[in-house]
Structure 1
Amino acid sequence: MSATAVPALDPAVVRAAARWLVRLHSGNAVAADFAACERWRAAHPAHEAAWQKAERLARQFGAVPPALGVPVLTRPTMRPSTHASRRAVLRTLALLGVAAPAAWLGWRHVPWQGWTADYATATGERREALLADGSRLTLNTATALDVAWSDAQRLVRLHRGEVYVRTAPDTPGTHRPFIVETPQGRLRALGTRFVVRIEDGGGAPRTRLTVLEHRVEATPRGGGAPLVVDAGQHTVLGAAGAAPPESNALLPQAAPDGAPGWLHGVLYADGMRLADFLEELARYRPGVVRCAPEVADLRISGAFQLADTEYVLALLRETLPVQVLLRTRWWVTVVPRGAG
């Protein structure tokens, strides 16, 4: 099949789409912002085309700030399309002398490492990576990490999100430790399978370590003695150090085999508060998901497929005394049935 050129979009329209995407993902958007964006998109076919292209670019590059993608968006493309790397985007920006706008700083509170990372996933995406030593990583939704191999250690730097690690023995003749580093500490594998997740912690970021096999040594960044966490246990590292290990059975999203449910593409709930359930579900879909305080303490149980969050929201209407208000596809609020 021969390649055919797709006409370039008006740069002014693309920049407007980029500004809308930044605003809606800034964490400060309100319902009026989402409604205004919908009106802008409906005002002209070129607006909708620019918006769709901005969305595709954001997904492709793992939530790259859309303003950073403007030079790529405005350039005529060829079909079949090719997938540029994040670093290719950055090189394009450097050549064009394009600087990131101030709005980039608020882009979903994602640090710059997120779009320069060796491995990254977009919202709702999962990805597997085979490392040089045979170790395997599975990245959950909205995750970014770097891999740094040296003569002294095998290092994975987790910048955001969640990763499942299955370590392999080092190459013959070497005995380098396998370490996962987060802003809250260093986790040294002792021949094992484990999961590391960076959580918001109510404004105080923390790292949750869940050990599935063998042991992991956790050393808090803020000081304190290393803590060895055994299989079947989890701990949290924060500003105050490491919490005492607890059983993985206490984790609300654990699968029957003890592993996190997302590895199976499932969100498990066993009497989970609806507010907590929706907070977890929101990690796997773009936009905002809110829970009215009147229904926050309702309980939900079941196994829910993360590949179709729209269907999960529909199930809530069928199983609980709630209704799901969709102001736009980006703004969801769950309220008591009959409200709104």
Structure 2
Amino acid sequence: MKKHNYSAGPCILPQEVFEKSAEAILNFNNSGLSILEISHRSKDFVAVMDEARALALDLLGLTGKGYQALFLAGGASLEFLMVPYNLMKENGKAAYLDSGTWASAAIKEAKFFGETVVVASSKEQNYNHVPKGYEVPADANYFHCTSNNTIFGTQMKEFPNLDMPIVCDMSSDIFSRVLDFSKFDIIYAGAQKNMGPAGTTLVVIKEEILGKNGKTIPSMLDYAKHIKAESMYNTPPVFPVYASLLTLQWLKKLGGIPAIEKINNAKATLLYTEIDRNPLFKGAAAVEDRSNMNATFLLNDEAHTPIFDALWKEAGISGLPGHRSVGGYRASMYNALPIESVQVLVDVMKDLEKKVSKTRL
């Protein structure tokens, strides 16, 4: 039976990425060696790294605009530390928007480096919306936000225009929608949502903002050193970078971000329309902030949980339960999830409605 993978991450990837990755594990570039064992300094892998970095900038529309792309280890969580290390000045200040669990984790790390101003937070409402109407202190060294909140199913639809570096954690919606990416000075994203398997993190940096905080930065946490070493300061995560390259190639062939945005909009519209139409369900996030990547929803009557769970499992759906802090369900519709899988879920929701109606008659 075909599986419909709604996992929030590590998540679904394009089928051709699996196939090409599997070939490379056995024999990479007809070298007689596996991608898992080749030297990261070999000509074949250096070409992979160079193309992956260039293609990331190309898809984001940042080629030739003063940006560098890096593939680093440590996950997006390490960037919570690297960002203030590189941008916060001695006795400086940083401004953060608290819109979810991962934004809160980033704030916690920034506090080790200096004054960290939370300009707004939706924590008291269990992060069911993205805060708006906030002011950012003009003397902040940078502003940090999280574009999409996987756990709570909210997504920033607008970003502030500021006269300071803007840093954005785009781990769960990078490459999914058209934005003016040049308004951001640092974008970082763990690979395991829209880009590849877990194990590498894409960091896109406007190079001119570095080297201005007057600090001595440990080498492994210094963006400038990683740029100079072309993402090879230490041994990179070879296989995740290769799989990420394959995913970026797939996206480019599809038509890039504009093409996938249309598909993602169609998927989100299909599911949210059913959530709003079906009397058995309700959305968990504020309507105006609903995420196109992670749709969170609840049953109006939890007594229907056993039958609904049985139905979606029988349909081959996987990874649907919501995070424990929200409950209910979470349908993660990342780039590689086909709209046919969304239709399967919608059909299951309709089927539940029919079964409940019959029981009531």
Whether TM exceeds 0.5 here: the answer is: no
TM range (shorter): under 0.3
Q: Which has the higher strand share?
A: 1
Q: Which has the higher contact order (CA 8 A, sep 6+)?
A: 2
* Bigger helix fraction: 2
TM-score (norm 1): 0.27
